[in-house]
Structure 1
Amino acid sequence: MYFSPTGTTEKIVRCVADVLADSGQTQVFDFTLPQARTEGKSFTQDDAVVFGVPVYAGRVPNVLLKYLDTVQGCGALAVPIVLYGNRNYDDALIELRNILEKNGFRTVAAAAFIGEHSFSKILAAGRPDEADMKLARDFASKIVLEDRGMIQVTGEDPIRGYYQPRDRKGVFIDIRKVKPLTADSCDNCKLCAHVCPMGSISMENVREFTGICIKCGACIKKCPQGAKYYEDEGYLYHKRELEEGYTRRAEPDLFL
């Protein structure tokens, strides 16, 4: 079960689930698009759920919190997984674990993997890569599907606030209302409207937004014409700071 606008979280979650299933029965619940979040989901104590979300500002995406409260574990085992864009996952993993435990899941393992940053094509480019996938397979092979108490993970509890980008003077850069623009190369294929996880891009006019933009990168990275882009100075400054400041290769954290 996953939320994965650009496919990085999906890639890791499916990999771990396939190894855990070992040719057994699996089901996929992709709640990336808004229509998939109109109804809750419940499991049973006979289920094991690999549950993944991306990290936004060091936390579970706040736009998902209301929906996640409708997902009930009813005693199912769970493996919470988060994907972050090479900066840090901060409290996202412990937050996801806590949400699942509160909702009746029994967490038995957890992991934080790295995916290409939603803002960038060079920050953690191409990740998760083959080295990440090997780690994911090895991680999955070591998971014991039995309740031995809540898995312990890195993070602070109470959960800290969302990561806030700042300029060199320490002034908060507010990009919450920033939205991508559309270049003349757009051929009106409407793919951006179809893949927007908030349903915020107008089908009638893909240059218009009818709702919020969460900067997930789906419309930009999936546009065949490369027609979606940002020009907001604060957004571009923050993107550049991330690309220049986090060039090291972050490695996954695995908790068993």
Structure 2
Amino acid sequence: MYFSPTGTTKKIVSGIIKKFSENIDKDITINNIDFTLPAVRKETISFTEEDIVIIGVPVYAGRVPNVLLKYLNSIAGNGAIAIAVVVYGNRNYDDALIELKDILELNGFKVIAGCAFIGEHSFSKTLAKNRPDEKDMAIVSDFANRIYNKITQEDNVQTVFVKGNKPYRKYYMPINKDGIPVDIRKVTPKTNSNCIDCKLCADVCPMGSIDYEDVSKLNGICIKCGACIKKCPTQAKYFDDEDYLRHKHELEVDFANRREPELFL
């Protein structure tokens, strides 16, 4: 299961599943639940104690995206084993992983492993560019092997400890040139004359906010996931808000050094 507007979280979760399934010498059923688009998040999902669920979300402002909380809390674990996956843009995952683990446990999952991987930042095409890369995916394979060994070799599989704070940190906020925290939640993408009205941006928007008849308009919120910008074939979508652009530049400068995945088993 994953929420993955630009494909980075999907790549990590799919990589774990692929390697994990290669270790199993009997027939298994693999169900892929991509809950990126709004229609899927309207469906009710429940599991059983026979299931193993690998669930991944991106990190927004150091936390699980708040727009996903209602959906995540609607999933019934019923004793299923879960592996919690968060993917962040090379700044920090802060309390996202412990928050996801807590959500899953409160809803009946037994969380036996967790990880924080790095993906290209949703704001940028240079910060953590092209990640997860080959090195990351090698770590994904190793992680999947270790999960398999834990499940098959331990008599009583234990829940996992992950890094994080309780109470959780507040959502990370950028600051403006005067050092004052700014709220960029209401910043929305603009559309330039390159637009060919292909409607792709409306199709990929995870909030269903881009107007299908006039793609320059928004009918709902923008979560700054980057899908409409990164997937536009003509580079017609962009942000021009001063505080947003300052924050984007700050991230690209301050967090340019490569960070590595963290695994918890």
Please state how far the C-alpha of 1:151 moved relative to its aligned partner.
0.7
SS in structure 2 at match of 1:71: coil
Please state how far the C-alpha of 1:132 moved relative to its aligned partner.
0.2
Please state how far the C-alpha of 1:19 moved relative to its aligned partner.
1.5
Amino acid at match of 2:194: S
Cα distance in 1 between the residues matched to 2:19 and 2:110: 19
Partner of 2:64: 60
Matches within 5 A, 1:190-209: 190-209=199-218
The counterpart of 2:183, out of the listed 174, 182, 194, is 174
Matched, 1:217 2:221: no
Cα distance in 2 between the residues matched to 1:68 and 1:100: 8
Partner of 1:133: 137
Matches within 5 A, 1:233-244: 233-244=242-253
Cα distance in 1 between the residues matched to 2:230 and 2:159: 37
Partner of 1:2: 2
SS in structure 2 at match of 1:42: coil
SS in structure 2 at match of 1:163: coil
The 10-residue stretch of structure 1 (161-170 or 193-202) with the greater mean CA deviation from structure 2: 161-170
Please state how far the C-alpha of 1:149 moved relative to its aligned partner.
2.9
- After superposing on structure 2, the runs of 4+ consecutive aligned residues of structure 1 that deviate more than 3 Å are none
Gaps of 5+ in 1: none
Partner of 1:11: 11
C-alpha change, 1:41 and 1:214, in structure 2 (3 Å) is same
Matched, 1:83 2:87: yes
Please state how far the C-alpha of 1:92 moved relative to its aligned partner.
0.1
Aligned CA RMSD, in angstroms, stands at: 1.0
Please state how far the C-alpha of 1:168 moved relative to its aligned partner.
4.6
Amino acid at match of 1:19: K
TM-score of the two chains, using structure 2 as the length reference: 0.95
Please state how far the C-alpha of 1:150 moved relative to its aligned partner.
2.2
SS in structure 1 at match of 2:115: strand
- Per-residue displacement from partner, 1:117-167 (whole Å, max 9, x unpaired)? 000000000000000000000011011226533210011012121011113
Gaps of 5+ in 2: none
Amino acid at match of 1:20: F
Cα distance in 1 between the residues matched to 2:262 and 2:178: 32
Cα distance in 2 between the residues matched to 1:249 and 1:210: 37
Partner of 1:21: 21
Cα distance in 2 between the residues matched to 1:100 and 1:246: 30
Cα distance in 2 between the residues matched to 1:168 and 1:206: 32
Pairs aligned (count): 256
Cα distance in 2 between the residues matched to 1:235 and 1:160: 21
The counterpart of 1:94, out of the listed 94, 98, 123, is 98
Amino acid at match of 2:171: Y
SS in structure 2 at match of 1:95: helix
- Per-residue displacement from partner, 1:68-115 (whole Å, max 9, x unpaired)? 111111000000000000000000000000000000000111100000
Identity rate, percent? 59
The 10-residue stretch of structure 1 (14-23 or 208-217) with the greater mean CA deviation from structure 2: 14-23
Cα distance in 1 between the residues matched to 2:169 and 2:239: 29
